Amino acid sequence: MVTIILAGGKSSRMGQNKALMKVGGTRVIDRIAFEMRPISEKLIVIANHPGSYKTLDALILEDDLEFKGQGPLAGIYTGLKAAESGPCLIVACDMPFASAELGVKLITLLQKNGREAVIPAQDGQIHPLFGAYHAKIADAVKRTLRDGKRSVKALLDQVNTEFFEIEKETDAFWNMNTRDDYIAAVKKAEGREKHGMYHYEGSNKNR
């Protein structure tokens, strides 16, 4: 499988690039890459500023020129197009506790049930920016964008999608949108490390 990290957002509410903010002493993008690398044949990062990610062992791409600046759906298209074939895990760059275990579960369901997308859902809310997508739907993403639709939900309505209900409490798709969210993430990370729930040994820890 291929993991595609979406790092092309404007971060307007946060006021700075969320992917480069440090949680637990480590950039969020590095936390995600470290978590997902063991389950991935390849890592792809979709970014507005590729130079910020040159230390990552990943393929760094900018949005396809036709759809540049059109939000996460454009990043999904660029990533799936680059992956070419097979199952892909999409992860937004503002999810410091993204879980490889859940990612594997979503990919397994995608393949086992013959789906084109498998999206986690909890308490009536879906989380399409942490989901399994098959690369073969890249053309469907392109059509959605060309129709002037930018929401990921508009895509999911057009493809064979399964929503996987998450029953237990999880931070796997918890994301940071505001400064308060970032402060909460730092505290969560401190609590995890204190109780031995998260241990980071990646080469980018001090960046």
8 is annotated as contributing to ligand binding: yes
Q: For residue 16, what pLDDT is reported?
A: 85
Burial classification of residue 165, based on how many CB atoms lie within 10 Å of its CB (0-12 exposed, 13-18 middle, 19 or more buried): exposed
Domain-located, residue 173? yes
Domain-located, residue 93? yes
Q: Which element (helix H / strand E) includes 3?
A: strand 2-7
* Domain, as residue range, for 186: 2-194
Domain-located, residue 202? no
Domain-located, residue 185? yes
Domain-located, residue 190? yes
- Per this entry, what is the length of the chain? 207
> Helix or strand or coil: residue 12?
coil
The predicted-structure confidence for 30-69, as pLDDT tens digits, reads as follows 999 999 999 999 999 999 889 999 899 999 999 999 999 8
Domain-located, residue 65? yes
The predicted-structure confidence for 59-106, as pLDDT tens digits, reads as follows 999 999 999 989 999 999 999 999 999 999 999 999 999 999 999 999
CATH number at residue 146: 3.90.550.10
Number of domains in the chain: 1
Domain-located, residue 133? yes
7 is annotated as contributing to ligand binding: yes
